[in-house]
């Protein structure tokens, strides 16, 4: 059972919906406020938002288990939000208690809450940094303390890249992380797409804009560009629900996100 939340007071934190807490709510967590629940319930009419978030979380869990099975024992989760029930450290450390996880988020209240949640776990921490600033992320005290970047690490970019605009050049950002991690490191990536469900994703993008955290849906070819330099594990870049999952048809929520896991290639 999930422990009850231990809140950290943050001025103005309860006045508008917060993306990290919305995700927590959709996942059945307890780390959210009334403003988040009200917005989620109001804005989700006709949109299977909870199912979409849960599908993405299921992909994340499958990918983390695979990384552990392939010998990875350290994880860098970029744009993590709140590490609510079933997040990376719980999945990885259940498979091997020696796994170390550093979450990264740029929202101070999210980081404060997460630090409180993780304070009793010496193998997990959260760093406050913007993932677009690679040097700040890799130089964060939590990253330096828990991760050895001279050895393979799993870099997780799950449901975060849609929050970057085209001006942020997300493919180049992924490449910058690729270039600084060791050969044999893994990339776990998922990305919103309108390729299969354009009308549904249009509504999702409209709702996201109301939170002040706009989303960008991208085509399969655009997501493929983000995976350059990684050898993709079977089944490659596919709908996230089909990545070693059931991928059965349903409400449309199963067809709004691509997922892939790749390994950084060594010198040829």
Exposed/middle/buried for 91, CB within 10 Å: 0-12, 13-18, 19+?
A: buried
Token pair in block for residue 52: 């979409």
226 in the Ramachandran plot: left (φ > 0), alpha (ψ -120 to 50) or beta?
alpha
Q: Which residue has the higher pLDDT, 190 or 251?
A: 190
Q: How confident is the model at residue 6 (pLDDT cuts 50, 70, 90)?
A: very low
**Angle at CA 257, nearest 5°, toward 152 and 100?**
25
Phi, psi (degrees; rounded to nearest 5) at 258: -90, 155
Say which residues have a Cβ less than 8 Å from residue 27's Cβ, sequence separation at least 6.
Answer: 53, 54, 57, 84, 85, 86
pTM of the predicted protein model: 0.88
Give the 3-state secondary structure percentages of the chain, helix then strand then coil, rounded to 5.
Answer: 40, 15, 45
Which of residues 9 and 194 earns the better pLDDT score?
194
Average pLDDT rounded to a whole number, residues 190-204:
95
Q: Which of 163, 188, 213 is nearest to 101 (CA)?
A: 188
Comparing 28-37, 172-181, 214-223, the range with the smallest average pLDDT is 28-37
Q: Average pLDDT of 144-161? A: 97
The confidence score (pLDDT) of residue 170 equals 98
For residue 11, the model assigns a pLDDT of: 35
**CA 218, CA 181: separation in Å to the nearest integer?**
25
| Backbone φ, ψ for residue 86 (5° rounding) | 75, 20
In 111-208, which ranges are E strands?
124-128, 154-158, 186-192
pLDDT of residue 9: 31
Sign of CA dihedral 195, 198, 200, 204: positive
- % of the chain surpassing 70 pLDDT: 85
DSSP designation for 190: E
Q: What is the distance, to the nearest Å, from the Cα of residue 230 to the centroid of all Cα atoms in its chain?
A: 18
What's the rounded Cα separation, in Å, for the pair 99 and 88? 10
Tell me the pLDDT of the chain averaged across its residues. 88
For residue 267, the model assigns a pLDDT of 60
Please give the class, per CATH, of domain 49-264. Answer: alpha beta
Query: Tell me, what's the pLDDT at 4?
Result: 37
Q: Specify the 3-state DSSP secondary structure of 167.
A: helix
Name the band, by pLDDT with cuts 50, 70 and 90, for residue 81.
confident
pLDDT at 213: 82
**pLDDT over 70 at 207, yes or no:** yes
Residue 235 buriedness (CB in 10 A; 0-12 / 13-18 / 19+)? middle
Residues 222/257, Cβ–Cβ less than 8 Å: no
> Considering only 24-38, 88-102, 150-164, 202-216, which range has the smallest mean pLDDT?
24-38
What one-character DSSP code corresponds to residue 48?
Answer: -
Give pLDDT, residue 15: 67
Here the tokens at position 236 are: 């490659």
Determine the pLDDT at residue 211: 77
């Amino acid at each position: 059972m999930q422990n009850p939340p231990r809140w950290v007071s943050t001025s103005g934190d309860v006045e508008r919906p917060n993306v990290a807490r919305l995700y927590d709510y959709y996942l059945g967590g307890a780390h959210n406020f009334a403003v988040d629940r009200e917005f989620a319930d109001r804005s989700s009419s006709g949109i299977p938002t909870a199912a979409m978030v849960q599908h993405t979380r299921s992909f994340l869990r499958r990918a983390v288990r695979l990384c552990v099975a392939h010998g990875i024992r350290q994880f860098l989760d970029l744009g993590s939000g709140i590490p609510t029930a079933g997040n990376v450290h719980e999945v990885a450390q259940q498979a091997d208690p020696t796994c170390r996880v550093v979450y990264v988020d740029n929202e101070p209240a999210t980081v404060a809450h997460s630090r409180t949640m993780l304070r009793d776990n010496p193998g997990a921490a959260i760093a406050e940094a913007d993932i677009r600033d690679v040097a700040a992320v890799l130089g964060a005290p939590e990253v330096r303390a828990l991760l050895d970047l001279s050895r393979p690490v799993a870099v997780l970019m799950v449901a975060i890249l849609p929050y970057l605009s085209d001006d942020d050049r997300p493919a180049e950002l992924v490449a910058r992380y690729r270039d600084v991690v060791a050969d044999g490191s893994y990339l776990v990536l998922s990305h919103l797409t309108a390729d299969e469900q354009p009308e549904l994703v249009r509504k999702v993008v409209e709702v996201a804009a109301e939170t002040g955290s706009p989303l960008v849906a991208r085509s399969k070819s655009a997501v493929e560009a983000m995976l350059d330099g990684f050898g993709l594990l079977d089944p490659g870049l596919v709908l996230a629900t089909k990545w070693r999952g059931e991928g059965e048809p349903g409400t449309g929520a199963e067809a709004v996100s691509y997922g892939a896991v790749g390994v950084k290639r060594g010198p040829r």
